[in-house]
Amino acid sequence: MDITRLDQSTFRADLEELDQWLSDRGFIQRDRFRLYKANIEEMARLEDRSDAAQVFSQVENEGRVTEILSSYVEGIEFVDALTTLRAKQITIPDHLLSKVLDGPPDAARENHKSNQGRNAMFELSMGAMAAKQDFQPVLGQANPDVEFQFQGRRVLLECKRVFSDKRVLDNIAGAIRQLDKSVDTDNADIGLVAISISRLAHQGNGYWEAPSLEQGRTHLAQAMRRLVGDLDARLRKLVRPSTAGVVFFVSGPLRVENIGYTIATEGIVYPMNLAETDFLRQLASALRV
């Protein structure tokens, strides 16, 4: 996967345009996205009077650095996903959008009772990943979370986010049970679990630093491979006809010298059904996972 770079020259204009689009859809409350927008506008005003390092030092002293980082990182994610889905004319149901806007703006304050917004955002991001390749995803169904066609076959994604490494397998098993209900193996459907382990890699309490974009991605890829390697034997015990594989996904804030703050993302497709390995490899390549 790619690193999404923050283009400050268009980012604030994109936020403004999305703000108006949300209002036109009837979403006018001061939600998580509007708080991100307000934080980013405040940072821009502060940076007009001082350099970025001093400004971040100031908000850190105020105990607000995690909310500010969340505003940048999740604001970028929001702009990227919504811009893609709208450009590809993908229907975004109101009930899904309402969930996406929910939750605390500070990622460090998210808990099991307030994680609905970021869970829904992960579904939206997975849909945007498919939309970028013109797969015309369907979003917001009861099951699956995301559905699209690839090489004439129906691909069904159940999306999960985890808070604890002890819950990774439980979340995967839960998603597999959901795929059992919706995947038609007689019709050659492909069921996939998409699981975000971003919360395990990044607790919302800071950012990674790397001398280059590529080294940031390498760091994430290595961490991902270690996790999947540790889970391999136990994942094999979860094999079901409905589930061809698991897409492991991780993202988080990265600060790169001379570039600034970006989102680093990485993904791995783990085959559960070895007979579908070639198909999964082609799908992963098409989705740039």
Residue 2: per-residue pLDDT:
44
Please state the domain extents for the chain. Answer: 4-287
Residue 248: per-residue pLDDT:
94
**Helices marked H in the chain:** 8-24, 32-49, 52-61, 65-87, 94-100, 116-131, 168-182, 198-201, 213-236, 277-287
Q: What is the pLDDT of residues 176-224, one digit of tens each?
A: 999 999 999 999 999 999 999 888 876 655 566 777 777 877 877 888 8
Q: How far apart are CA 239 and CA 274, in angstroms?
A: 10
Asked if residues 36 and 75 have their Cβ atoms less than 8 Å apart, the reply is: yes
The label of the residue with tokens 């015309």 reads 136
Query: In the numeric block, which tokens belong to residue 25?
Result: 């859809």
> Residue 1 pLDDT > 70, yes or no?
no
Give the pLDDT mean for 14-43. Answer: 95
Number of neighbouring beta carbons within 10 Å of residue 8: 12
Give the pLDDT mean for 64-69. Answer: 84
Q: How far apart are CA 36 and CA 74, in angstroms?
A: 8
Report the phi/psi class of residue 241: left, alpha or beta, with left for phi > 0 and alpha for psi in -120 to 50: alpha
Q: How far apart are CA 34 and CA 16, in angstroms?
A: 10
Q: Fill in the amino acid letter for 76.
A: I
Residue 198: per-residue pLDDT:
84
The pTM of the full predicted model, rounded to 2 decimals, is 0.91
